[in-house]
Structure formats: C-alpha cells, structure tokens
C-alpha cells in the first residue's frame, strides 16, 4: 500500500505546481478522463481491503463553473484468502473553480467475493469528493482526485476512500472573453478576395480563412457570411489559408459552394454551407 501512496504523492505534487503556474484559458465544454484508481475498502469490522483498478468519466460543462458528470470504475483485490471484484457507476453535478473541481455522484455498485463459493450483491452507491487538474497542453490535463465512496452491501454501509490519477482529454473549448476581445481588436494582415467581396486573414493552426471585412452588397454579404466567420472549403475542397481560398476561386465562374464555420453566443462552433454565384 505504501508503494502506491508514494506513487500518487509523487504525481500529485507536480500536478499542484503545474496548476499554480497555469495560464488562464477558456473552459472546455466536455472532458473525458481515464486513469488508475485505488480504493481502501470497508469490510464491516474485518481488515480493510486494498483494491486496485481504473476509473473513467465524462463531464459536460454547461457553464465555466457548473457541469454534469458520469463515471464508471472497476477494481480487483485479494483479502486474506478471498478474491474481490467491484464495479461501480454513478452520475451527478460537478462544480469547477479554475483547475479544481468538486462532484457528487450517485449510482449503483456490484460486488463479488469468492472463496470456494462466490457471493455477489448489487447496492446503492455514492461518491463525494473532488480533485485538481493540471493542464499539460490545451487539450490535455493531469488529474488527481479523491472521494469518500459509500456503498451498502448486505444491509451494511461501507465507508470507502478512493484515489484516482490519470489523464483528461478536453474538447469543445470556448475562448476567454479577454482573449477574444484582444484577437478582434488586434490588426492583422488581410487579403482581399474580390470575387466574394471580402477580405480574409489567417487563423490559429491554419484552420481556414477568417473574414475580417465584408463589403456591403458583395457576394459573400448577400449569401449571409459575416465578419469572423471562417471559410473552410470551396466546392468540397479544404481551405486552410487565405492563399488557398484565392487559388480555389481563381477563374471560378457560376455556382460555388462555400463551407464555413461560425461561433455562436454560447461559444460553440457550427459548420454551414452556402452557394454563391461568382464570375458573372
């Protein structure tokens, strides 16, 4: 047991230091976690059992500070001469503050103990606790969490302690308001696209040509494109940079399909397609 605790501590301390120096960023809409998990289990008067296994979870954040989480776990252990297996599932609300979170999960737990014969039981289960997430990159973080895990097998309450360590994958990011304002206010080189009546600029990670100016009455404006929309394709061919957009439209005449993405008020990126007439 001490070996596992030393491992967890050696991971937790760097995680806390990383959180202390992490830069502020937009919050992710979704998070998926997978990692190693350890449970110190209550045996109702007998020796406490050490179970080892894994935990997975998925959370959906409605707001920067509020979300919902579902989680599943599986453990295996050996107590004296008894083999033990335990599987749990739960869901509930989650509160976020910077790189810290608290959650309250309610669900069910399946328990099996085998010595010559096997005894199985399914019970109510709940977990209350939280953890810390240290950003490694924009889409990845290291998580360390601990929970008080309650089960009720064979008409007795079991008061368990759970510790988990693993990796979080974050996606569906929103952009910090300050960063968005700075991005919009910062002058950027713009390339005119006369065929559409717009000027475009590069984007982060070259994911398209961002519209920085729309000419009133122009082809793009009449088709419903707006400033800050990002053109991502022409007639099904991907566009990553303004030069690629200009090349795709060079010599084009007639109907042209434009694929683009735009950001909603809630921070989601949505893709659309429209058809315009150019060169006539």
Specify the 3-state DSSP secondary structure of 174: coil
How confident is the model over 134-150, as pLDDT tens digits? Answer: 888 768 889 999 999 99
pTM: 0.56
- Mean pLDDT within 254-270: 82
How confident is the model over 54-93, as pLDDT tens digits? Answer: 999 999 988 888 999 999 999 998 877 788 899 999 999 9
Asked if 104 contacts 69 with a C-beta cutoff of 8 angstroms, the reply is no
The 10 Å Cβ neighbour count of residue 9 is 10
How far apart are the C-alpha atoms of 190 and 279, rounded to whole Å? 22
How far apart are the C-alpha atoms of 106 and 124, rounded to whole Å? 8
Q: Is 209 exposed, middle or buried (0-12, 13-18, 19+ CB in 10 A)?
A: buried
Closest CA to 254 of 219, 278, 235, 221: 278
Lowest mean per-residue pLDDT among 64-68, 130-134, 206-210, 264-268: 264-268
Q: What's residue 26's pLDDT?
A: 54
Asked if 107 contacts 88 with a C-beta cutoff of 8 angstroms, the reply is yes
Length of the chain measured in residues: 280
How far apart are the C-alpha atoms of 258 and 242, rounded to whole Å? 14
Angle made by CA atoms 110, 169, 269, in degrees to the nearest 5 = 120
How confident is the model over 1-45, as pLDDT tens digits? Answer: 445 445 444 544 544 444 444 334 456 788 999 999 999 988 777
Domains with residue ranges and CATH for the chain: 2-173 (2.40.160.20), 187-278 (2.30.42.10)
């Amino acid at each position: 047991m001490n070996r596992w605790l030393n491992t967890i501590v050696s991971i937790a301390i760097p995680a806390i230091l990383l959180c202390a120096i992490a830069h502020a960023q937009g919050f992710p809409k979704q998070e998926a976690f997978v990692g190693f998990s350890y449970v110190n289990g209550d045996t109702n008067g007998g020796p406490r059992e050490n179970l080892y296994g894994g935990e997975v979870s998925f959370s959906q954040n409605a707001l920067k500070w509020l979300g919902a989480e579902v989680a599943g776990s599986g453990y295996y252990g050996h107590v004296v001469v008894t083999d033990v297996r335990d599987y749990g599932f739960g869901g509930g609300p989650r509160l976020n503050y910077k790189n810290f979170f608290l959650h309250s999960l309610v669900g069910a737990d399946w328990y099996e103990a085998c010595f010559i014969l096997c005894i199985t039981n399914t019970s109510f289960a709940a977990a209350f606790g939280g953890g810390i997430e240290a950003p490694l990159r924009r889409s990845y973080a290291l998580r360390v969490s601990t929970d008080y895990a309650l089960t009720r097998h064979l008409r007795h309450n079991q008061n368990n302690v759970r510790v988990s360590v693993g990796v979080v994958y974050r996606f569906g990011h929103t952009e910090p308001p300050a960063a968005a304002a700075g991005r919009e206010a910062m002058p950027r080189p713009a390339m005119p696209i006369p065929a559409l009546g717009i000027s475009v600029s590069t984007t982060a990670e070259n994911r398209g040509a961002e519209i920085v100016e729309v000419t009133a009455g122009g082809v793009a404006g009449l088709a419903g494109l707006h400033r800050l929309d990002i053109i991502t394709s022409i007639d099904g061919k991907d566009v990553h940079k303004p030069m690629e957009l200009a090349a795709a439209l060079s010599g084009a005449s007639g109907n042209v399909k434009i694929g683009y993405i735009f950001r909603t008020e809630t921070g989601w990126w949505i893709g659309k397609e429209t058809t315009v007439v150019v060169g006539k």
